[in-house]
Amino acid sequence: MIEVEKMGRPAVPLVSGRFEGDAVASSRAFGMPGLQFVVVPRIYRNLNPEESVRNTEPAFGDLVRALTTGGPDSGAEHQDPGEVDRFEGADRLDALLRMNDEYLARDLGDGFPLMAATREAVDDLLEGVSLPPDHVVCDVPPGFGLATVEKIAANAALAGARREHMPVIVAAVKALSQVGPHGGKSLLMSTSPNAPLLMVNGPAAAELGINARSALGPGRDNAVNITIGRAFFLCLKNIGYWYPNRMDMDTIGTTRKFIMCIAENENASPWEPYHVDQGFERGSSTVSVFITDGELDVQDQGNDTAEGLLKTIAYGCTFGNRGLGERHTRETLILMPPDVAGPVGAQGFTKRGAAEFIHTHANASLGKMIQYMPLEGEARVAAHWRWLENLTEEQRLNITAPVLESADRYRILVVGADRAKTSVMPTSPETTTVGIDQYRP
């Protein structure tokens, strides 16, 4: 609607009640804080035509008034807090607890206790990066706040990060801003549980102690993984305005939004590491951002041939839906442990060959994959799929099709300990890799 207004046409969105906060935050973030909207009770997506009419008719009077009278400013200017927050208590611990109570009430954290971003703590983190404090690294989606090095350091301090972590955190924030045409804005604001996953390649992973084995989980082994991921999340939240029910509209949510930073297990891989695939030198360090949309543990209980192991993974890749647009752009991230990657590589498969084998065998019932979206009258169905409308449901169910568009849509990384359990994650095609070394002092 903001884009329509920019073309000189009046526009008033219909917003379901649950999205009212999001409408205010989004109109402010996208450059038109005074954009008016009219609230209706229910979300339209799963309403039948009669229910849609009942949802809309009572709003017409409000629509006319909004278009003809100007109405109130629905997006009041955001009032920035002061530069310094001060918290006092009986002792330092009491003051820290008071800070956490206040920051939780202001929704500035992740629900876990925060460290104090004191001037001394922030200055120490600034020593870990080559850029001046006021340097603008990028704008951060979905709200496009400006990420200066100092703002990144302040959020990293809240997460308990150390100065040597800063180049990875800065590079990860930069990488997110380059995801897709708008930094993955629509993915981050979606009602689906999309969440970033950070992947570090190169010498920095070992130097910092980023775990490449059982890398996704709590505990001592993953302390660095957790801290860097948490610092990145706080930047995304407090600089990018990624607040729940305002610019993060998940229906249910996901624990993947407790963002983790993991490393590829390069020493146990039979192939070149991921960052080399992306055009970087093997001796350089990089961080990649994947926008994930789910997670499945793919078990293998006895295969010892490459074909058997890959067929198991291919079957695991068949869960989910398939779009019927002009192109089906969804991708799949495969975190393949050494006990799977080793035999696959040793038996003659390149990484590309493994992806092609998986693509060939990852087929499923087209009729089942498209049941989430009725075909009849659906504007998102491309013309070259319209022939499906003329088939019966049974005929559609009997059509087998690849779950992804091509082998290029599978991204294989070697991650994990010595077990044969592969993790499969649906992802967006909007993935970026940024060098870390440029930010080191």
- Profile the chain (441 residues) by mean pLDDT over runs of 10 residues: 80 77 72 77 77 81 76 44 82 95 94 96 97 96 93 98 98 94 80 93 97 94 98 96 85 91 97 97 97 93 94 94 86 96 97 98 94 82 90 94 95 93 92 96 93
Strand partners, 196: 291
Asked if 334 and 411 touch (Cβ cutoff 8 Å), the reply is yes
Q: State pLDDT tens for residues 55-110.
A: 888 878 777 877 777 644 444 444 455 578 999 999 999 999 999 999 999 999 99
Cα–Cα distance between 210 and 221 in angstroms, integer? 8
Cα–Cα distance between 286 and 175 in angstroms, integer? 10
Torsion angle of alpha carbons 9, 10, 14, 19, nearest 10°? 90
Cα–Cα distance between 55 and 398 in angstroms, integer? 38
Q: State pLDDT tens for residues 165-220.
A: 999 999 999 999 999 877 678 888 888 889 999 999 999 999 999 999 999 999 99
pLDDT computed for residue 97 by the predictor: 96
pLDDT computed for residue 78 by the predictor: 43
For residue 363, give the H/E element and its range: strand 363-365
Total residue count of the chain as it appears in this document:
441
pLDDT computed for residue 72 by the predictor: 46
pLDDT computed for residue 376 by the predictor: 80
Strands (E), 101-159: 136-140, 145-148
Asked if 322 and 366 touch (Cβ cutoff 8 Å), the reply is yes
Q: Which of 89, 286, 340 is nearest to 171 (CA)?
A: 286
- Tokens coding 110: 């992740």
Cα–Cα distance between 297 and 127 in angstroms, integer? 40
Cα–Cα distance between 8 and 277 in angstroms, integer? 46
pLDDT computed for residue 79 by the predictor: 43
pLDDT computed for residue 44 by the predictor: 75
What is the helix, strand, coil percentage profile of the chain, to 5?
40, 15, 45
Phi, psi dihedrals of residue 415, rounded to the nearest 5°: -140, 140
Single pTM value for the model = 0.87
pLDDT computed for residue 237 by the predictor: 95
Q: Which of 247, 241, 268 is nearest to 345 (CA)?
A: 268
Tokens 């910092």 map to which residue? 208
Residues in CB range of 379: below 8 A, 6 or more apart: none
